[in-house]
Every structure is written in structure tokens, then in C-alpha cells.
Structure 1
Amino acid sequence: MAFNNVETPENFEQKCLCVLVLDVSGSMSGDPIDQLNNGINTFHEEIKTDSTASNRLEVCLIEFSSDVNVLVEPSLVENFTMPRLITKGTTKLVDGVREAIQKVSERKGWYKSTGQRYYRPWIILMTDGAPDSDQDVDSLANEIRTGTANKSFFFFAVGVQGANMDVLTKISSPEMPPSFLKGLKFSEFFKWLSASMTTVTGSKDGDTINMPSPASWMKGFKI
């Protein structure tokens, strides 16, 4: 909600920001992008059915290819329709994640300025390749390690078939290593993510949070 072009809170529930950073480079064409589109719509619809999560979870959607585009600014799920992702270009992965970190910083500042409590934000990266050669992976790794160590945000990378898992391991914190998607189980991943975000937004400060099992979508997961 905006008043005189200044955004005002729609409610004063404790907020949780989830930034989805999604690879739409040319290698995602065909079944991968179709399944990814199905998955993000599943996520959107499932969050909408939970009244607590829909009042607390804000979603931001960033796509990266040869460019970086913010398709959905941080918003409660009832305030936007998931866009349809279209593949093109190369893989500006580092730029995409940096945009997410900036969005997290800006949104936390807004929460503070408007008197809203918030959970630690989440940045979720999904990619099927390696970053372009001009991307500074080492610098991004330092930013993510610093941000996660300072509890500024959680960072979770998911590799799709073809992903360079060495790069994803380099930019991830040891406490939350990257995972590999089983086949094209995007819908299963986003069902898990919606259940996880519902668990987080339903918790109180100090609660121990037990996340759902990722067995349905994570390759190699063992109990």
C-alpha cells in the first residue's frame, strides 16, 4: 500500500522476506523452465491458503540471464501474480545474487523505519549452470559468508541438472551447503519451500524450528 508514493505497511505482523533468485538463461529452455514456472505458481498458491503465512511472508522474485530483472518487488502474496518466466541469454549469477542482497538490506531498513518486526530473510538461488566468466565469484562468496555469519540473511543454493556445484559450494556457508535438485522436481521443491516458510512464519522468537524433510526433491538425501 502506498500513500503519496510512500509505502505503508498493510499489517504489523512479523514479516519474513523470501527472495527467489532464478536462472532463466538459455540452457533452462524447454522442460526446465516449464517445470520452474509450474513450481513458482505452486509456491504462490500454497502460501495463499495459509492465513498466517500470507500475512507474514513477503516474496521478491529476481531473474538473471544476460541481465538482472526484479520481476516482483517484496510483496505479500495476495498483492501480486507470479509472472511467467522466459529463457534468454547467459548467466549473470553473481549480479543476480547481489541484487537480492541489496533488496534484503533495503527491506530490512523499511521494516525498521515502519516499526515492523521481522524474521531473518531468506535468499534462495536456483541455477543450472556456471556464472559467466566476467562474474566475480570470490567477491560474492565473501559477501555471502559475511552476511550469513552476521545473521543478516539465510542463503540457500539449489543446483539444477548441469549446475556447477563447486561454484555453489564456494558461495554457500558451511552451515547451509548447496543441494542438488532431483531431476526436474521443481514443484516438489517449492512445496517444500512453502511448507518451510509456513513453519518459519508460524514460529515465535526463540522457538526451535524443525524444517520439513527435503527427501521428495533433493538428490542424494539420506535420513
Structure 2
Amino acid sequence: MAKNDFSAEVAENYEQKCLCVLVLDISGSMNEIVDNTGTVDTGKTIFVDGKTYNVVEGGISKLDNLNEGLRAFYDEIEKDDTTSQRLELSVVTFNDFVTTIQEPALVSNCHVPELMADGDTALVDAVYEAIDMVAARKKWYKTTNQPYYRPWIILMTDGEPNEGQDIQNLAQRIKQDTADKRYEFLPIGVDNANMSILQSIQGNIPAMKLKGAKFSSFFKWLSASMGTVVTADEGQKVDLSNGASDWMDSFTI
């Protein structure tokens, strides 16, 4: 089967669908320790993703928090009868390479990914992969006569794109696509993310910064927000601000 070809897939139900594509940075810097409790310094250093880090044993990393947040997100979606039948999840990861580790599917057909981090940051390629997936999935919805809400692409990164990645063209593409209401794009900066780059590629929704390492708070907000989206009436404006202050750094408001 060709990439992003869903033509052989049969719809499980004919509820109105909403696709949420998580585009997640798993570059080496995501292994950075954010909770030093119980850590032991090995005396070694490592150069990863453009920076030098001290190597320690133990502690909790940004990646640990991301994995925990993802597990809670999947659990919350599965517990809601309506959202679990309407929200389709997909996960695209990026470091040196872009990998679709979860094709679009209802949460009952998904396995919670256990992410591992290494390498650099092919951010631009990953976002284009998500955009292509959204277009292909919308085509499948139409072919199978499934109504759908506007899809969401959620980008989370703690760095900036590798050299040579064309941010300007991506920014133009996102601005045009979101103006045309093809999808919603939400860029989230983690820790040392280059917020000016994320702001340059934002669409209708401003780039936001995660407060500390509050991945769990973010995914709790996201599951509640997606639940609101998939129960809204056609054309209804929805307020997604409730709970955002729990994870969002104040400077981005």
C-alpha cells in the first residue's frame, strides 16, 4: 500500500470524525533530566542536538514526562464514549528521520507508544508529513461518506530545525492552509525551543510554550479540548482556554 493510502480501509463507524496528529520531537535533547532527584553524575559529557550535556544516572527526563503524558492522554480519550468513537489519533515522530509510528485510528485500535530519543531535529519534514496525512485522511472520509471536523496538527519540540530545513516555505504553507480552514495547527515549545521559529510558522493559533515539563497537564487539557471539539455543533465556536494556564507559560498568552 502506498504511503498515506487509506483506500483499502473500511470505516468502523459513521460518527463525525476529528483527526488529531501529534508531531513529536524525539531528538537527543529530549533525554535532558528535568528532575534531578536521585541522580548520580558519571563524570562524562555528551554532545547531542547541538549542545553538550553532563551524563547522569537516574532522574526524570523530558522524554519520561512526555511518555507519561501520552499514556494519560490515551486513557482519557478511551474513557469517554463519544470522543473515543469520533477522535482519530496519529503520531509522527522526528529526530534525524521522520517516522509515522501511529497511522490514523480510533483509540481502541491504538497502542500507546513508548518513545525513545536520539539524534537531531527534522522538524520541517515532520510537519509536512502530518499535512500530507491530513489531506489523505480527509479524502478517505469523503470517499467513505464520513462527516468530519477540521483536523488538528499538534507540534511539540524542544529545539529548532536542522540546518537546511526550509522554515519560510513551511510558514507560508501553514498560514495559507489554516486560512483556508484545512486544519488547525498548534505549535508548542518545550524548554529551550526556539519560540521565534515556532511563532513564524503559526497559523490561526499562536505558538505557546510549555511551563516547565508539564506534559501531563498539557495532555489533560488536550483530551478535554478534543472532547469539546467532537461534541460541538457544526460551525459552533468553542472555548478551549479552560485549563490552559495549568501548562502554558504566561509569556505566550
**TM, length-normalised to structure 1:** 0.95
Q: Deviations over 1:64-115 (max 9, x none)?
A: 0000000000000000111100001100000000000000000000000000
Q: Which residue of 2 aligns with 1:166?
A: 196
Q: Secondary structure at the match of 2:156?
A: strand
More strand as a share of residues: 2
Q: Which runs of 5+ in 1 are unaligned?
A: none
Q: Is 1:182–2:184 an aligned residue pair?
A: no
1:82-93 alignment, distance < 5 Å = 82-93=112-123
Q: Secondary structure at the match of 1:108?
A: helix
Q: How far apart in 1 are the matches of 2:8 and 2:73?
A: 29
Q: What residue identity is the alignment partner of 1:15?
A: K
Q: Deviations over 1:193-214 (max 9, x none)?
A: 0000000011110223121230
Q: Which residue of 2 aligns with 1:215?
A: 245
Q: What residue identity is the alignment partner of 2:155?
A: L
C-alpha RMSD of the superposition: 1.3
Q: Which residue of 1 aligns with 2:230?
A: 201
Q: How far apart in 2 are the matches of 1:166 and 1:34?
A: 26
Q: Deviations over 1:126-181 (max 9, x none)?
A: 000010011000010011011101000000000000100010000002x3110010
Q: Which residue of 2 aligns with 1:123?
A: 153
Cα distance, 1:221 vs structure 2: 6.4
Q: Identity of paired residues, percent?
A: 50
| Aligned length in residues | 218
Pick from 7, 25, 28 the counterpart of residue 27 of structure 2: 25
| Native 8 Å contact 2:24 2:157 kept in 1 | yes
Moved over 4 A (4+): none
Larger radius of gyration: 2
Q: How far apart in 1 are the matches of 2:236 and 2:196?
A: 33
